[in-house]
Amino acid sequence: MINQTFEELRMTGKLPSPSGVGMQILRLTQGDDYSTEEIGQAISADSALTGRLLKLANSAESGSLEPITTVAEATVRLGIRTVRNVALGLSLVPSNGSNSCAAFDYERYWSLSLARAVAGQHLSSVMMRGVPAEMYILGLLSGVGALALASAHPEHYAEILMDPNLLGPEEVCRAESSRFEINHRDVAGCMLLDWGLPEEFARAVHDYEACEFRSSQKAIHTLTELLRAADVIARLCVANVDTPLQEWDQLSRDLAQLEIVSGFGSEHFRRTCNNAAEEWREWGEILGIQTTRQMDFELVEELAEKAREKARADEGAVPRIVRLDNSGLGQTASGLSQALNESSLRILTVDDDPVALKVLENHLVKAGHSVTTTTNGDEALRHALKECPQLVVADWKMPGLDGIELCRALRKISSGQKIYFLLLTGTNDDESVINAFNAGIDDYITKPFNPRILIARIHAGRRIITLQKELEREKRKQQKQMMDLQVVTRKLRSAALADPLTELPNRRYAMKRLAQAWESSSRTSRPVSVVMMDIDHFKSVNDTFGHDAGDAVLKGAASILRSSCREDEDVCRIGGEEFVVICANTTAAQAKMAADRLRRDVENAPIFWQGHEHSVTMSFGVASRTPETQDYEGLLKAADEAVYFAKSSGRNRVEVAEINQDEFKKSA
């Protein structure tokens, strides 16, 4: 059901996705075995990315070296790792976005993602665990599930982020699953698989939030544990005085436990964390991502104590809306009001003449607009890509990137296509004007301009911008209605496939899932097994205590089975007191081990009813596909016969169909 729900999300076209070049770099650099030529060819396909790299290379300490003019030369000067990280960062981290979810802190999201990427790469290198290149990618993408839900369901996700009762990741996941039939962990895992990344990557981003380091653990072994360690360091990097006390306390405990499992001495460990934080700030400057002042990991306990003092001082204050989920993605109330402020146009002006630029700014500010000034086309393009103004007023003739070239560059990207572009020109001949409109301008005004005519042109542009807003608002409304309808449809479908008493999948779902597992087994020649189980003496419970007691036993048993089953084991209630677990890619021996585990957990977990504790046992039957098994119904029948044999042999036991075939025939 999760895969189907994700597919519906993907079909909306609103999920975040790397650019074509970003996707190519992402796949190319999963490991450390890519070449300079391969990454250079991929980067060269994006002129803006190439320009940023060349600028970085030429701004590096180079003494009297010649200017860098190619990606290959930039790679030699900067190093392939630096070039790879810049390319990935610029390709995967958008300089602007729709920011459609008002309660989602986009700046903090990307800052935290970058910190997690850098910390993961750094830890991987110094601990010699995993591949540093892989950890950079994992850290950068590990929170993408939350970003996806904020993009696909902005209004509903804002409600979840602003719910004061959802204080931890598990509660947030439950709220997401209840609202959308999928949570951000599932979405993140599905997205990485959809992008062609390895299954172990998807598993790591799905599991790392819930990963806990054990007190007896002495080392970090898996990608999931390494990503969790990077996450702890990253959250401390972005922590500040407004970070809730509860989060400070948890982070300080996590850091202490991480120090133990790192295998480093205290001094070495803190130095490693500080080096990662310093590298994060350096990459933030390169990629244009906001970073806070560098965290000193020697002072974590001291900062946590300051947070406690501040919390005590603020006890009587009016509470603010603060970020509430484990990803720290909510905004403050003041941030929301600022985000919703649309009283004036955001205008970007560009002119190489400082006097003319100042005059232009004065007229626009006087008319009530928010104005940013730039003195050349290159600077204007960088600002437009980062801030996405609503209207640009640009002079035509400028050194470097002129007004027409600036317009052409903006029209090549989706956000730039929405910007209203007003050109200032000293010429008025027909051919020049036609060329300007062909380049993508919306209007022009000749210099020297009449201020009243300028403001009139701006007002005309504002009408177009307003109409665009109304169209986008109507489009978002329709999309919201469609998404709401999809959520309702998913919930109805889920209800049709769920048992209302135990909330487990019902018989209809079990048959559908078993048919899929059987078909997959037929195609791949991999094993498939089922474990059927039946509550012992269930009829006597109903006869002695009534059906309310029977319902309590069913719900209790279902809860135990649900918590005991592993991720790749599908447990369903197929009727009465009967349950089944579908085990794809599982042999009879492996399925028996699973059944033994479930039997012990049911036997050892008491069920409470009307204040009393009751013990329950179950009988289990295991069947695995054999050459003689004709179809999945035959597989289910074999497991059912094994359950019958387990009951007749004393109950609270596991029987395997393949082992006891002859005995079944005798007892039949």
Q: Average per-residue pLDDT in the chain?
A: 81
Give tens-digit pLDDT for 416-472.
888 999 999 988 788 889 999 999 999 999 988 899 999 999 999 998 998 888 888
| Token pair in block for residue 321 | 């809306």
Q: Where are the beta strands (DSSP E) in 451-537?
A: 528-535
How far is Cα 145 from Cα 141, in angstroms, rounded to an integer? 9
Q: Where are the beta strands (DSSP E) in 314-361?
A: 346-350
Please indicate, yes or no, whether the overall pTM of this predicted structure exceeds 0.75. no
Q: Quick one: CA dihedral 592, 594, 595, 600, positive or negative?
A: positive
CB of 319 within 8 A of CB of 270? no
Give residue 613's pLDDT band: very low, low, confident or very high (50, 70, 90): confident
* 508 has a pLDDT exceeding 70: yes
* 29 has a pLDDT exceeding 70: no
Whole-number pLDDT of residue 517: 92
How far is Cα 140 from Cα 205, in angstroms, rounded to an integer? 10
Nearest alpha carbon to residue 591 among 665, 656, 663, 653 = 656
* 332 has a pLDDT exceeding 90: no
Whole-number pLDDT of residue 334: 39
Share of the chain above pLDDT 90, in %: 30
Give CA angle at 14 (333, 85), nearest 5°: 85
Give residue 360's pLDDT band: very low, low, confident or very high (50, 70, 90): very high
Whole-number pLDDT of residue 351: 93
Whole-number pLDDT of residue 31: 62
CB of 659 within 8 A of CB of 624? no
Give residue 289's pLDDT band: very low, low, confident or very high (50, 70, 90): confident
Percent helix, strand, coil in the chain, to 5, is 60, 10, 30
Give tens-digit pLDDT for 80-107.
766 766 666 666 665 444 567 888 888 8
Q: Span 326-333, mean pLDDT?
A: 45
First to last CA, the chain: 38
- The domains of the chain, with CATH numbers, are 17-93 (no CATH), 102-341 (1.10.3210), 346-466 (3.40.50.2300), 507-667 (3.30.70.270)
CB of 184 within 8 A of CB of 144? no
Give residue 659's pLDDT band: very low, low, confident or very high (50, 70, 90): low
* 315 has a pLDDT exceeding 70: no
* 62 has a pLDDT exceeding 60: no
Residue 110: half-sphere exposure toward Cβ, Cα within 13 Å: 21
Most confident of the following: 146-150, 167-171, 214-218, 526-530: 526-530
Q: For residues 99-131, b (16+ Cβ closer than 10 Å) or e, as one string?
A: bbbbbbbbebbbbbbbbbbbbbbbbbebbebbb
Residue with tokens 């295991």: 622
Which of 59-63, 115-119, 368-372 bottoms out in mean pLDDT, i.e. has the lowest? Answer: 59-63
Share of the chain above pLDDT 70, in %: 81
β-bridge mates for residue 373, sequence order: 349
* Higher pLDDT pick, 645 / 387: 645
Whole-number pLDDT of residue 538: 92
The secondary structure of 212-241 as a DSSP string is ---TT-----SHHHHHHHHHHHHHHHH--T
Give residue 341's pLDDT band: very low, low, confident or very high (50, 70, 90): very low
